[in-house]
Amino acid sequence: MAGNWLLPAETTSSGRPVLQPGEVESSLQPTVDLVNEENPNLPIFKSGLLILTTYRLLWLPNPESTTSAPTSKAVAVPLAAVTHIFQSKKSIKGMFASPRVRFQVSVTPDGRVQERGSKSAVITLVFRGKSDPDSFVGKFYEAWRGRAWVGAVSASSQGESRPVVLGDGGGSSSSDTGFALKMPVVGVSGILRKEQEMWESTDKSLQDAFQDLNALMTKAKDMVILAEKMRQKLLSSSSSSSTQTNATNDEEMSSKEEMQEWLLSVGIISPVTKESAGALYHQQLSRQLADFVKIPLEKAGGIMNLIDIYCLFNRARGTELISPDDLLRACSLWEKFNVPVMLKKFESGVMVIQNKSHSDEEVFSRIRTLVQNPDALQTGISATDAARMLGIAPAMAKEHLLAAESKGFLCRDVSPDGFRFYINIFQDIDPNDLYLVKEYGIYDAWNRAAIASR
């Protein structure tokens, strides 16, 4: 039990936490220690990434840290198990020590953190390096008092009470009865009174607008959760139906795939923002982007243009848009992380995102096989032909063809109809005897195809 006194937490392949439905990140703090004060014999989680969500307090090991144990795994403290958050005491001694935040949790008799446990224990968070513990404590207390994990019942009741508070902004009750008495605007006092009424009317309009916006954002989160549940149900139903019978309706399958694509584009439940991540913004954005591009890359044949990824990612983030510089910086950080995707730049300057399993040598081999067909030996191939074979966009296929040309595999012919690529037969020609025709190799295959076409 020494190593599992906290609940385990799931993480993605890029190191991001797997959030529960409706769970949203509130704050991220780097290099934080997690210590159990009641039992010093329990293992200490050192120099990890602390993530505060609306449901849990997550601790993730830092792979670049030398102080954290290599076998450390992500753990979680449910906010439902927190019973008290202690106020931090200011002292002269504390000015020279690392900031600490203490809170009390309920535990089982054997010391495991659990909601409604029979005993209690105190956990200490030690903030090392650059961090903002005061801001974290405020968000921690707000998330704990918010009790978002209870469900949508409290949120709906709170939303019903808001119009009463906002409507009680100091308006005249006479307007409700239709007998509003307006004082005449006379002198300086009348002008000031009229301007005051205008400001009060503007303030009420802004309150009503923000009330509608908050209600819309609340419903948007619920719609994202509902869309994710529907997508999972569609995926499970499609997999079960494929195992039961092989004969499926093509129209029904296409409609299901279209529905899945629509649900995937609804949005990300908890996008990484500068407000929540702080100094870790680009690092966490990079990890979230690596998780996001998996499904689009699988559908696009393992490679996509960076501009297409930018549009899809921003559409999924909703109102939390990112700039092209942020996207490029997030992609450049993939070299430091162990993620299955990478950023690649072709010689033409086109930047793409591709899976690490997407081998250029395999692509070149398939292109050479295509270009050595009898018809291709005579007419060549276009970017559309290569795109149809590789299962990628024509623009990406053209970049692969140009890369194969730079390697010496292909030759290019530019005509009014566009680019045509042919197999490079100059490698089989002997420079010392240009008229020697070999009875083997690519040159011989090209000769046979030319004779057969006459």
pLDDT given for residue 45 in this prediction:
87
The one-letter amino acid at 48: G
Q: Comparing 39 with 78, which gets the higher pLDDT?
A: 78
Residue 333 in this model has a pLDDT that exceeds 80: yes
Q: Comparing 324 with 235, which gets the higher pLDDT?
A: 324
Percent of the chain past pLDDT 70, that is, above it, reads 67
Structure tokens at 314: 């921003």
Distance of CA 12 to the CA centre of its chain: 11
pLDDT given for residue 159 in this prediction:
47
pLDDT given for residue 198 in this prediction:
77
Residue 57 in this model has a pLDDT that exceeds 90: yes
pLDDT given for residue 206 in this prediction:
65
Q: What is the mean pLDDT of residues 349-353?
A: 88
Which residues does 77 contact at the CB level (< 8 Å), separation at least 6? 6, 7, 56, 57, 59, 105, 113, 123
Q: Is 122 exposed, middle or buried (0-12, 13-18, 19+ CB in 10 A)?
A: middle
This prediction has a pTM of 0.64
Q: What is the mean pLDDT of the chain?
A: 75
Q: How far is CA 298 from CA 39, 161, 283, in A?
A: 48, 46, 24
pLDDT given for residue 176 in this prediction:
41
Taking alpha carbons only, the member of 348, 333, 341 closest to residue 402 is 348
Instruction: Tell me the pLDDT tens digit for each residue of 19-29.
Output: 888 888 888 88
Instruction: Tell me the pLDDT tens digit for each residue of 60-90.
Output: 987 665 455 444 688 999 999 999 998 877 6
pLDDT given for residue 153 in this prediction:
37
pLDDT given for residue 441 in this prediction:
61
pLDDT given for residue 78 in this prediction:
92
Band the pLDDT of 331: cuts 50, 70, 90: very high
3-state DSSP assignment of residue 313: helix
pLDDT given for residue 193 in this prediction:
73
DSSP designation for 44: P
Q: What is the mean pLDDT of residues 164-169?
A: 34
Rounded Cα gap, residues 241 and 249, in angstroms:
11
